[in-house]
A and B are shown apart, each in its own frame.
Chain A
Amino acid sequence: MKFSIVKDFLVAQYKIIRGNRFGMFGAVILLFFGVIALLAPYIAPYELWESLRDSSGKLAILRHPSLEFPLGTTAMGRDLLSQLILATRTTVLIGLTSGLVSILIGANIGLLSGYYGGKLDEVFMRFTDIVYGMPFLPFLIVLISLFGRNIWFVIIAICCIIWRTSARVIRAQVMSIRQRQYIQAAKARGCSNFRIIYGHIMPNILPLLLLYTAFNIAWSVLAEAGASFLGFSDPNNITWGGMLYNLWISGKIRTAWWWFATPSICIILLVSALVFISRAYEEVANPRLKQR
């Protein structure tokens, strides 16, 4: 029984994405990165920080892409393909974790605030206003200088900032749903507030929720890349932004185009895949978009 609900849900999601060509494209890319992230340690050809030598025994420094090193090497003679694959895992992990945690915070604040209104709404919304006043990078820099460079602090910093937009939008939607006749009817049936919020209102805003989940994940990937590029990421866990940071500090950014190209393309691909998927959900949340 429980399984059939999950199945129904997944089938419905598949139909939504299937109905939109860009959405399908996004889903394929997402799946591709997902598989790479899962299998990363098994498919990376070399060790992450190993300085490699070519067949003649020379240190393989700044090699162009070739059969031996498909995506070239770094200034330290490290394999870029291996770095890219392992960086995919960290990037996807950060993106997913902070995207999901932030929607969890944002959705709950939006639901409670919109449903109860009054004092609770006032407190939550003023708190959201305060968070709107917090800039991301300075916040991250403070966090890192206090606790040290660690991917979890990057995740926490992203989560703390990013929920604000989803909370606002979801609150507005909940306030409209709350007034519908069927919510009043549910109340007359003796439903508890908890059941009304999560059983009756939430399913009605699900497309919006998924839309903002995709948005939040995309934003997290971008924020993480920006932070890493500026050197605020964990040096032990490489990310795409971190690869660009290494390129920057090596001083070879004008010559080593292959080092620059692949992480950038990956960032663009993953973020646009998420945006395409969110577009597919946006059409469900706002059907007028379809007619254009």
Chain B
Amino acid sequence: MNHTLDVKNLKTHYSSEEGKVKAVDGVSFAIGENQVFGLAGESGCGKSTLIRTIMRLIPKSAKVTAERLLFKEHDLLRVSDKFFREKILWQGISLVPQSAMNALNPVYRVGDQCTEAILAHTNVSKAKAVETVVKMFDAVGLQSGLMKAYPHEFSGGMRQRAMLAMSLVLSPELVVMDEPTTGLDVLVQERILRNLKEIRKNTKTSAAILLITHDISVIAGMSDRIGIMYAGKLMETADSMELFNEPYHPYTLGLKNAFPSIKALDRELISIPGSPPNLTHNIPGCLFYERCPFSIDVCRYEKPEEMEVLPNHFVQCHRTEHVMEFRKLAGEKKTWQFSK
């Protein structure tokens, strides 16, 4: 299988006054052509830093290393800034940024901003570019007359859809969506996600998507494959059905508990106690140790290796052989009431 994006052991370390911040610490995953890869995790777990690293949007002071960082045939660790900016950004990888509501320049008409993106990257005529934008506006359910409007005349959902349209105008191979539905009401959320599915179905060149969110339900509905991120590491990676049916990592079990299920409405939501570790500290063992109800001594002193528990299902945990027991216990509230 050809990978659109192939990342192996990617690390992004910031240096701060308190020491090195390991915002992303050894992340490996691959996104196949036409695949939707969902990346979930709490705020501050390094999701945004990860995509900003891939898109070269982080400050120069950050230290980025990786064994492999491939976008199609391009080695992103090697290509020059100029080539990356002109040929890979937007034409290859486009972004629907976090809070896309504020991602439109207030002094330009929305349509002009979309057209600019096309004209800056390709040699097509202006008329042709406008035609493409009209088509994309139509695809996301915006009337083409709205191209003449300014961003402040749009509602939040419309701006979000305009950003979605803008991210697709050059038919990129990979669309990165950083919390595309945050701050929108559920109806608009639903419409945008449905838009996305329709576009993928209707347009011939359907792109791979890297979907980043802390909303498990959005990820569950959209993704083919899911990565659960915690404190800069991918704790568990698996195909999405498998991840929800047979979770291995205690953190995944905990996350599942913290979201309501339509099938069991009277089930009490259980949250994971504590908060993510300070990333400047040098933690010798498992990063989830402090909050894990199933931890033993080895978790504290030794970092778990990534292992393949089922075909193509990766977990970083010392105690995967006891998972049957964990799955039973994780549903009970008292399991999560402990202090260390």
Interface, chain A (partner B; CB < 8 A): 1, 180-182, 184-192, 195, 199-200, 203-204, 206
Contact = CB atoms under 8 A, between A and B. Distances in A.
Contact of A181 (B99, B107, B121): B99
Given A185-B97, A187-B57, A204-B107, A192 B85 contact: yes
Contacts of A188: 55, 57, 89-90, 94-95, 97
Contacts of B108: 203
Nearest to A205: B107
A1 B95 CA distance: 30
Contacts of B55: 188
A173 to B, nearest CB: 14
Contacts of A192: 85
Interface of B: 55, 57, 85-86, 88-91, 94-95, 97-100, 102-108, 116-117, 120-121, 126, 163, 166
B105 A200 contact: yes
A120 B266 CA distance: 61
B120 A181 contact: no
Contacts of A206: 107
A204 B97 contact: no
Of listed B57, B100, B105, B166, residue having the most chain A CB within 10 A:
B105
B105 A186 contact: yes
A181 B97 contact: yes
A189 B120 CA distance: 9
B3 to A, nearest CB: 22
A191 B105 contact: no
Contacts of A199: 116
A186 B105 CA distance: 9
B103 A182 contact: yes
A189 B117 contact: yes
A180 B106 CA distance: 11
A189 B104 contact: no
Contacts of B121: 190
Contacts of A195: 120
20 contacts: A181-B103, A182-B103, A184-B57, A185-B95, A185-B103, A185-B163, A188-B95, A189-B90, A189-B95, A189-B117, A189-B120, A190-B89, A190-B120, A190-B121, A192-B85, A200-B105, A203-B107, A203-B108, A204-B105, A204-B106
A206 B107 CA distance: 10
Contacts of A184: 57, 97, 103
Given A181-B99, A185-B95, A190 B85 contact: yes
A195 B117 CA distance: 11
A148 B116 CA distance: 51
B95 A191 contact: no
Nearest to B104: A182
